[in-house]
Amino acid sequence: MKIVITCKLPHEVIEPLQAKYDVVMWEKEGEPMERARLLHEIEEAHGLFTNVADQIDAELLEKATNLKVISTMAVGFDNIDVETAKQKGIVIGHTPGVLTEATADLTFALLMATGRRIVEGMDVLRQDEWKSWAPFFLTGQEIYGKTIGIIGMGRIGLGVARRAKGFSMNILYHNRSHNKEAEETLGATYCKLDDLLTQADYVVLLAPSTKDTYKMMGKEQFAKMKNSAIFINTSRGTNVDEEALYHALEAGDIYAAGLDVFDPEPISSSHPLLRLRNVTALPHIGSAAIETRLEMARLACENLVNGLEDKPLVHEVKA
């Protein structure tokens, strides 16, 4: 059977696959497989190893006449046309769980960096703008004891809430359903979205990308936030109306934003949001800790092999 891997993976990860299957892997580090190549390779493939950088859409799935399994090295699968894949009897695997803590760490790091203007401080040094200690030089927002509002209380949201608890933050959350663990072990309070937006000092978006969450943070939502509030997004860029965010940041309707995700990705240095002093931006690295990425790769391989061998996947996308 043939496997297509759309990204460069370490030898130790692919060797077991090479021993059993005909493996085609894209060799360019840091770049996804070219679309034309993927459309060609998929025609014969039984297994596809993918990630968030590929569009696994109906056009591609039409050509994939042998495909049994799609395994994405990610928790999110909004880049995959799940419905079409299911109709064709293709199973889909993803990697929840193993990236929860790393992504919660990055989310909290971005929250702290944005609130306390860490990256701006480094820029000041690099540009020789440090003249003296001064009373209000690079003042940001406090974190300890403030109110955090977490939109999307899944595994990662819960991880962020645990970190927030360590900073004695008051924890509000909004989610499709109540999260007992967050309420009972962390004292988190369930809120309507509007109440969360008006009360939180830090609004942290961790909802998956679906039809219902598309641009859920827009002009109206940013207007409800405090002028001193900070918006953090480590979920998906599609969940935010970026133009509305730009205007809210420029007008001072909100204080700052920390963003790990954009729509579309990647962005270039000319992106309007990067021109704003009060934006701290990262190139979609939520789960990018070395141990985590190796675990994700291993889990994605296990899903792939199980799918090829008609065994249940470790984590199957059920939609």
- Note if 101 is an active site residue: no
Minimum distance from residue 95 beta carbon to ligand GLV (Å): 7
Q: What angle do CA 172, 248, 238 make, to 5 degrees?
A: 70
18: its two tokens: 């090479």
- Count CB neighbours of 254 within 10 A: 21
- Note if 243 is an active site residue: no
Q: Measured in whole angstroms, how far is the alpha carbon of residue 165 from the centre of its chain?
A: 22
Q: Tell me which of 27, 62, 265, 309 is the catalytic residue.
A: 265
Instruction: Decide if 74 contacts 49 (C-beta within 8 A).
Output: no
Minimum distance from residue 131 beta carbon to ligand GLV (Å): 40
Minimum distance from residue 159 beta carbon to ligand GLV (Å): 8
Minimum distance from residue 93 beta carbon to ligand GLV (Å): 13
Minimum distance from residue 156 beta carbon to ligand GLV (Å): 4
Going across the sheet that includes 170-174, the strands are 189-190, 170-174, 147-151, 202-205, 230-233, 256-259, 279-281
Q: Tell me which of 236, 242, 293, 302 is the catalytic residue.
A: 236
Q: Pick the closer one to ligand GLV by CB: 67 or 99.
A: 99
Q: Tell me which of 46, 284, 293, 315 is the catalytic residue.
A: 284
Minimum distance from residue 136 beta carbon to ligand GLV (Å): 37
Q: Pick the closer one to ligand GLV by CB: 223 or 288.
A: 288
Q: Pick the closer one to ligand GLV by CB: 24 or 98.
A: 98
214: its two tokens: 């598309």
Output phi, psi for 50, to 5 deg. Answer: -130, -175
Give the binding site for ligand GLV (CB under 6 A).
Answer: 52, 74-76, 96, 99-100, 154-157, 206, 286-287
Q: Pick the closer one to ligand GLV by CB: 44 or 295.
A: 295
Residues near 152 by beta carbon (within 8 Å), at least 6 away in sequence: 174, 175, 205, 206, 207, 208, 235
Instruction: Decide if 274 contacts 281 (C-beta within 8 A).
Output: yes
- Note if 284 is an active site residue: yes
Q: Pick the closer one to ligand GLV by CB: 74 or 182.
A: 74
Instruction: Decide if 14 contacts 36 (C-beta within 8 A).
Output: no
Residues near 24 by beta carbon (within 8 Å), at least 6 away in sequence: 2, 3, 4, 5, 41, 45
Residues near 62 by beta carbon (within 8 Å), at least 6 away in sequence: none
Q: Pick the closer one to ligand GLV by CB: 3 or 300.
A: 300
Nearest to 228 by CA among 151, 139, 109: 139
Catalytic residues: 236, 265, 284
